[in-house]
Amino acid sequence: MSRLSDHNVAIAKEIIGHYPKQKSALIPLVHLSQEQNGYVTKDAMRHIAELVNVTPAEVLGTASFYEMFKFEPVGKYVVNVCTTLSCALLGAGELLHHAEEKLGVKAGGTTADGLITLEPAECQAACTEAPCLQVNYRHKYRVTHDDFDQMVDDLRSGKLESEIPAHGTLGMQRQHIPDDKGVGAVHPDDVVGGPVWIPVAVEPDTEGASK
Amino acid sequence: MSHHTNSQGAETHDYIAGFYIGDRPKVVTSRFEYEDSHTLERFLATDGYEGLKKCLTMSPQEMHDEVRNSTVLGRGGAGFPAGVKWGFTPQGVWPRYLVVNGDESEPGTYKDRLLMERDPHQLIEGCLIACYAAGLSQCFLYVRGEMAVAQERIAAALNDAYAAGYIGKNILGTDFSVDIVLHWGAGAYVVGEETALIESLEGERGMPRLKPPFFPAAVGLYGKPTIVNNVETLANLPFVAINGSAAYTAIGTPTSPGTRMVAVSGHVKRPGVYEIVNGSTTFRDIIYGDEFSQGIRDGNDIKAFVPGGGSAPWFVEDQLDIPFEGKEASAAGSMLGSGAIMVMDATTDIPAAAYTLTKFYAHESCGKCTPCREGGTWLMRMLERVIAGHGTDADLDQMREVGQTICPGDMPHASSERLGLEAVPFPYKMTTICFVGPSAWAPLHSALTLFPEEFEARVTKVPKRVSIPVTALSGADA
């Protein structure tokens, strides 16, 4: 059941078409499968392997390198509390402890109702707004303990449903290149000659050619 | 149009947390004062895609020269001039690709995300200019996976720009045709290293490639010439195309022209992201200046600060008057890196602060090079022991030894009048392929060197180890 749906296979094929080599679509497709299933399933990895023409082991080999891919079910909401320097200077450690107490799980765990997974995280590029956290990779800034409690209550009551999609959905917008507008990706070995707008006589650069 | 000023002075807006608009030259943040700065409508109403149009009236060579003359320095960390980097592509080898490094994850750094969220079309325009000038036939915009809003804004901007004919086949009715593809990262700091970025884009584990070849410009994506540029670097190009390189170099200093996005965080009164004039603004201006971070919280003294992202050796009070300029920062023992300043006040527990960074790099090591994979974790564990009060002075010696294995020779550090220390200039030597290994050592090395007493106070002194032979070695030349 966790292979990609027909709808997602169509999206997958468009994504694959964006790249000169199929394997480049591997990470975007693992994201797509995670969007569909909430985590990366074995069947999905087998399916992706078929789609990009590699072995399932290669899909796992690549996917297991990346932190955002979860290979076991996680909560609908993954809460990442930043613990790197700027946040740590302004109370990230205390916030993480508070979160553990509020949710009744240790960092890394998922609440009994399966709604929230709590994770310690590294720098989230919101250092001026410390301490910060992300819920499914959407920021919350300058989080006080009361803010955290309120956020958890809102997640539980479904108040944030329109703002924060379920875990796995990265962007609510997806790039789409219309057939009549796109140039199309060409396999690098099939490219002959430079782009048409580069006049052959005036190669744009000369220095460093031997590097 | 080049110097928008805001009559309100340094103000922030709730739609753009952490950014402060100032009364200074604006190269990349000129639209940040508009809440809808990310839309095509606002972009077109504020000279959007004018740089592209101007660029298309010039030859690729002319545009390339303009960028070379502007000396736009790479904003990812290394500070290499973009125009020169483009020139490293070997002649006659096609296709050539542009890969945009939007995998911003350096601790403390927080500028590319704003540029992607607040002005995605400016970045797209910069990509198009680069592709035109350097003859790059496809562009991949690699955006850090954990930035959901940036992904959405860029996806929407790309869709709008395709529909309006700014990207794709025969752009604005010319011969110039290029696709820009948004690529989602999936969470790995090391992918910010350009060869690791390329590996990741090829669908592999994001591990840096062995060097040589040193430059992806020669051998990059799919083995073809590839230009890897940082988001902020490319965001500078529309300004250069519209106003010319002379207008760009008129801002800043000869060695560091233009502006820079700098994020100031930690124990300051007003943490924020500021577009500063490059080269001349000092750390004291940035940390204490009224238009910037307004000094240390609660009137405390400053203890130390990280001048250029988590990988950079630390500075202390002695270095406050150094300008934000690459060569001066190097001579003083550190680097400007990605433009992130993290400030620690007198209340900071230095070993604990260093620990957050050591832990970061230990966690983010890709595992390819032994000194980083083993050394980073080893340093982290020893530091945990010392902080918990279970360490001995042998742990401190061992840290230095592990550090030497990652960075042999003299490790750069700042001078300290308090300790009578002279600066050791940047850069370091390294035994790893990329900078992640040295980055695991640099913050801890700075902490140990500039604040040795905080470590020594935490450890137990043990007698020097003596080796006791169990049996006498006979006959061996011992």
CATH of B40-249, one of 3.30.420.40, 1.20.1740.10, 3.40.50.11540, 3.30.390.10: 3.40.50.11540
Using 50, 70 and 90 to split pLDDT, how confident is the model at A68? very high
Q: Name the nearest CA neighbour of B367 among B204, B201, B206.
A: B206
Report CA Rg, chain A.
22
* Domains along chain A with CATH numbers: 6-63 (1.10.10.1590), 77-157 (3.40.30.10)
- Among residues B265, B136, B404, B349, the alpha carbon closest in space to that of A142 is found at B265
Strand partners, B342: B265, B306
Hey, are the CB atoms on B353 and A89 less than 8 Å from each other?
A: yes
Residues B172-182: tens digit of each pLDDT: 999 999 999 99
Q: Per the CB < 8 Å rule, is B18 touching A183?
A: no
Helical (H) or strand (E) element with A80: strand A77-82
Task: State yes or no: pLDDT of B333 exceeds 70.
Answer: yes
Taking an 8 Å cut-off on Cβ atoms, the answer to whether B151 and A173 are in contact is yes
Tell me which amino acid residue B339 is: G
pTM: 0.93
Confidence of residue B466 (pLDDT cuts 50, 70, 90): confident
Give the Cα separation of B94 and B223 in Å (integer).
10
Provide the pLDDT for residue B1.
31
B240 neighbors B132 (Cβ within 8 angstroms)? no
* 3-state SS string for B417-431: CCCCECCECCCCCCC
Q: Inform me whether the C-beta atom of residue B460 falls under 8 Å from chain A C-beta atoms.
A: no
Coil, strand or helix: which one is B454? helix
Chain A residues near residue B348 by CB distance under 8 angstroms = 89
Residues of chain B with CATH 3.10.20.600: 255-346
Query: Rg of chain B's alpha carbons, rounded to an integer?
Result: 24
Residue B12's pLDDT band (cuts 50, 70, 90): low
* B187–A contact, CB cutoff 8 A: yes
Domain with CATH 3.40.50.11540 in chain B: 40-249
Please answer yes or no on whether A24 and B144 come within 8 Å at the CB atom. Answer: no
Name the strands in the sheet holding B179-184, side by side, starting at the edge strand that comes first in the sequence: B179-184, B138-143, B97-102, B226-230
Cα torsion for B58, B64, B69, B72, to the nearest 10°?
Answer: 120
Q: Give Cα separations from A17 to A161, B222, B358, B451 (angstroms).
A: 32, 16, 41, 55
How deeply is B443 buried, as exposed, middle or buried, from its count of CB atoms within 10 A (0-12, 13-18, 19+)? buried
Does A201 score more than 60 pLDDT? no
pLDDT digits (tens, 9 = 90+) for B400-415: 999 999 999 999 999 9
Please say if the pLDDT value at position A202 is more than 60: no
Distance CA B422, CA B411 (A): 12
User: How many angstroms separate the CA atoms of B349 and B217, rounded?
Assistant: 43
Q: What is the structure's pLDDT at B11?
A: 52
Angle between helices B350-364 and B436-450 (to 10 degrees): 170
Residue A211 has pLDDT above 90, yes or no: no
Q: Note the helical H segments in chain A.
A: 6-17, 26-37, 42-52, 56-63, 85-89, 92-103, 145-157
Give the CB-side neighbour count of residue B72, counting CA atoms within 13 A. Answer: 32
Q: pLDDT band at residue B364, thresholds of 50, 70 and 90?
A: very high
CA distance B46 to chain A (A): 24
The ipTM is 0.94
Average pLDDT, chain A: 93
d(CA B39, CA B29) in angstroms, rounded, equals 14
Q: What is the Cα–Cα distance from A59 to A42, expressed in whole angstroms?
A: 10
B225 interface with A at CB cutoff 8 Å:
no
| Record: contact A128-B215, CB cut-off 8 A | no
Q: How far is B183 from chain A (nearest CA, A)?
A: 7
- A104 reaches B (C-beta below 8 A): no
The residues, any chain, with a CB within 8 Å of residue A162's CB and separated by 6 or more, are none
Could you tell me if A195 lies within 8 Å of chain B, comparing CB atoms?
yes
Residues in B touching A203 (Cβ below 8 Å):
91-92
Token pair of A199, please?
Answer: 């006049």
Mean pLDDT check: name the lowest of A101-115, B4-18, B92-106, B290-304.
B4-18
Q: Enumerate the CATH 1.20.1440.230 domain ranges in chain B, comma separated.
A: 349-462
> What CATH code is assigned to B255-346?
3.10.20.600
- Sort strands A77-82 and A116-121 into parallel, antiparallel or unpaired: parallel
Contact assessment for residue B327 and residue B255, using Cβ atoms and an 8 Å cutoff: yes
SS3 per residue for A126-175? CHHHCCCEEECCEEECCCCHHHHHHHHHHHHHCCCCCCCCCCCCCCCCCC
Helices (H), B1-87: 40-45, 50-57, 60-70, 82-86
Residue B448: DSSP 8-state: H
Which residue(s) pair with B306 in the sheet?
B342
**Exposed, middle or buried, B14 (CB in 10 Å: 0-12/13-18/19+)?**
exposed
Across chain B, what does the average pLDDT equal? 93
Strand order in the sheet with B259-266: B272-277, B259-266, B340-345, B302-306
10 Å Cβ neighbour count for B92?
10
Judge whether B8 is closer than 8 Å to chain A, CB to CB.
Answer: no
Residues with Cβ within 8 Å of B312's Cβ and at least 6 positions away in sequence, in order, are: B306, B334, B335, B336, B337, B442
Which has more confidence, A200 or B131? B131
Residues 6+ apart with CB under 8 A from B91: A203, A205, A206, A209
Q: What is the C-alpha to C-alpha distance for residues B260 and B361, in angstroms, rounded to an integer? A: 25
Residue from the list B105, B206, B265 with its beta carbon closest to the beta carbon of A128: B265
CATH architecture type of domain B349-462:
Up-down Bundle (1.20)
- Nearest CA-CA partner of B130 in B186, B208, B74: B74
pLDDT-based confidence at B10, cuts 50/70/90? very low
